[in-house]
Copies of this chain bind each other. A is one copy, B any other.
Amino acid sequence: MNTKKIVLPESEIPRQWYNIMADMPTPMEPPLHPGTGQPAGPDDLSPIFPMALIEQEVSQDQVIDIPDEVLEKYLIWRPTPMYRAYELEKHLDTPARIYFKNEGVSPAGSHKPNTAIAQAYYNKMAGTKKITTETGAGQWGSALSMCCSFFGIECKVFMVKISYNQKPYRRLMMETWGGNCIPSPSNQTNAGRKILEQNPESPGSLGIAISEAVEAAAMDDDTKYSLGSVLNHVLLHQTVIGLECQKQMAIAGDYPDVVIGCAGGGSNFSGCALPFVRDKINGKEIDIIAVEPASCPTLTRGPFAYDFGDAVQMTPLLPMHTLGHSFVPEPIHAGGLRYHGMAPIVSQLLLDDLIRAESISQMETFQAGITFARTEGFISAPETNHAVAMAIREAIKAKEEGKEKTILINWSGHGLVDMAAYEAYLSGKLADHALPEDEIHRALDDIAPLPKPKQYKPGTIL
């Protein structure tokens, strides 16, 4: 019998996160204060983040020790198994070897707890009593609720109201873990009240929810704010994924030619990819692909610019690929990929040609998810299906070219709480709509007046 799962013993779990900022050929541009337009320093961030996380946000150390208390919690689901997708290979009749790293084995069903547990820990150490955050579809809010419960921290999640009403299961997961989930806009914050005054029926948005969570944290000394993607320290924590994959590839006696992850804010993609980007910087030939939805093509159609992280312009300006903070993506089912911006680290790596980006339309991703489920068994989250679809493209290409090739997918989570999305697909209710050029241009106009990052490279902007 062939080995199906490449399993890393607990004793081999990585003891350090990998910080790519130490190795990037182009140094990162700093975030800017939204009021002054000047580089934002640690003091600007300290009202909402504990200092340990701010230090990680700006650290240039190549590796950062994972505290024992975090490692202990990681063991609940880590090391995660890396699978060889024999049945998918057979079905595609491809010479490619396809592996997938199963981050769906965490209790929350996704990669999100990798950083949630670290953030909860550092907050606990800093004396934080309560953490606020926002969530769209609920993957992040549920992961953070779980991790806060482990450390006895109160967790308040502002959940986009339309998702709160339409997706009760993830809200219920938060509550089962003791989290307090509130539909946003709420009347608990000035930001929320202001929106409700203008429109009592507002369905909410991630931008509004971020504003509410940040405000709730800033107003109270014992309360901090937590973000589930985009920022450097979040990507740092996720690198356990790729570090494990490297050890598992060694066990399998293989090494990836292609590394694939879906990208919304950039954290699961980076978690798997960054350790391989280091290898690429050191001379390895690897094709590293971030896959985004055609309806929210941040990396493939957005310029690299300074932009706000939220819709209401409260956060620092980040140097990133962006579709403009006023861009409202179609309500596709991959809610975790509906973000106008992209992690600055991912954006910079794209500029430096260390990774590439592809966009895929919704129908193709669900078709890929069905193929995957009927061959490998596991039902992927709609976000994850973007990575699966890209892997299938690459496997078919390998067949056409008659080339052996090793493909690694970061399988970021299962879709058992997202079955309504599959219903829409299976019942023929989904269709792809082209994203009009002018819709992007309109949103891009909003970022034109903002400062331009120095690292601007002509040719990378559409």
Chain A residues close to B by CB (< 8 Å): 1-5, 7, 9-10, 68, 71-72, 75-77, 83, 87, 105-109, 146, 149-150, 168-169, 172-173, 175-178, 369-370, 373-379, 414, 416-417, 419-420, 422-423, 426
Bound form: Cα–Cα A108–B414 in Å: 11
- Beyond A105-B105, A107-B378, is A1–B423 a contact (Cβ under 8 Å)? no
Would A175 and B68 be within 8 Å (CB), given that A5-B10, A150-B377, A416-B417 are in contact? Answer: no
Q: Tell me which of B10, B77, B169, B422 contacts A175 (CB under 8 A).
A: B422
Indicate if the CB atoms of A426 and B172 lie closer than 8 Å.
yes
Query: A30 to B377, alpha carbons, bound, how many Å?
Result: 37
A sample of 28 cross-chain residue pairs with beta-carbon separation below 8 angstroms, ordered by A number, consists of A1-B72, A2-B72, A4-B72, A4-B75, A4-B76, A5-B75, A7-B7, A76-B376, A107-B376, A109-B416, A146-B377, A150-B375, A168-B420, A169-B416, A169-B419, A172-B419, A172-B422, A172-B423, A173-B379, A173-B416, A175-B422, A176-B370, A176-B419, A176-B422, A176-B426, A177-B373, A178-B374, A417-B419
Question: Is B107 a contact of A423 with CB atoms below 8 Å?
Answer: no
Which residues of B sit under 8 angstroms from A108, Cβ to Cβ?
377
Query: In the assembled complex, which residues on chain B have CB atoms less than 8 Å from the CB atom of A107?
Result: 373, 376-379, 414
Give bound CA distance, A172 to B373, whole Å: 12
CB distance from A153 to the nearest CB of B (A): 12
- Chain B nearest CB from A171 CB (Å) reads 9
Residue from B76, B83, B379 in contact with A176 in the complex, judged by beta carbons closer than 8 Å: B379
Report yes or no: A374 in contact with B149, Cβ–Cβ below 8 A.
yes
The answer on a CB contact under 8 Å between B75 and A1 is: yes
A175 contacts B426, CB within 8 Å?
A: yes
By a CB distance below 8 angstroms, the chain B residues around A75 are 1, 3-5
| Cα-based distance from A77 to B375 in the complex (angstroms) | 14
Which B residues are in CB contact (< 8 Å) with A106? 377
- The one of B3, B9, B87, B109 in contact with A150, judged by C-beta atoms closer than 8 angstroms, is B87
Least distance between A8 CB and chain B CB atoms (Å): 9
How far, in angstroms, from A169 to B169 measured CA to CA in the complex? 11
Nearest CB in chain B: distance from A13 CB, A: 9
Instruction: Give CA–CA (A377, B150) in the complex, Å.
Output: 8
In the bound complex, how far is the Cα of B177 from the Cα of A169, in angstroms? 21
Tell me whether A68 and B1 are in contact (CB under 8 A).
yes
Shortest C-beta distance, A412 to chain B (Å), equals 16
Leading 8 A-B pairs by shortest Cβ distance: A107-B377, A4-B75, A172-B419, A169-B419, A149-B374, A107-B378, A76-B377, A416-B416
CB proximity of A80 to chain B, nearest CB, Å: 11
Determine how close the nearest CB of chain B comes to the CB of A75; give it in whole angstroms.
4
Q: Which residues of chain B are within 8 angstroms of A172 by Cβ–Cβ distance?
A: 419-420, 422-423, 426
Q: Chain B residues near A176: list those with CB within 8 A.
A: 369-370, 373-374, 379, 419, 422, 426
| In the complex, chain B residues whose CB is within 8 Å of the CB of A173 | 379, 416, 419
**In the assembled complex, which residues on chain B have CB atoms less than 8 Å from the CB atom of A370?**
176
- List, in ascending order, chain B residues with CB within 8 A of A369's CB: 176
How far apart are the CA atoms of A374 and B145 in the complex, in Å?
A: 9
How far is B106's CA from A68's CA once the two chains are assembled, in angstroms? Answer: 29
Measured CB to CB, the nearest residue on chain B to A73 is: B377
**In the assembly, what is the distance between CA of A193 and CA of B108, in Å?**
43
Q: How far is the CB of A167 from chain B (nearest CB, A)?
A: 10
Residues of chain B contacted by A420 (CB below 8 angstroms): 168-169, 172
* A72 cross-chain contacts in B, Cβ below 8 A: 1-2, 4
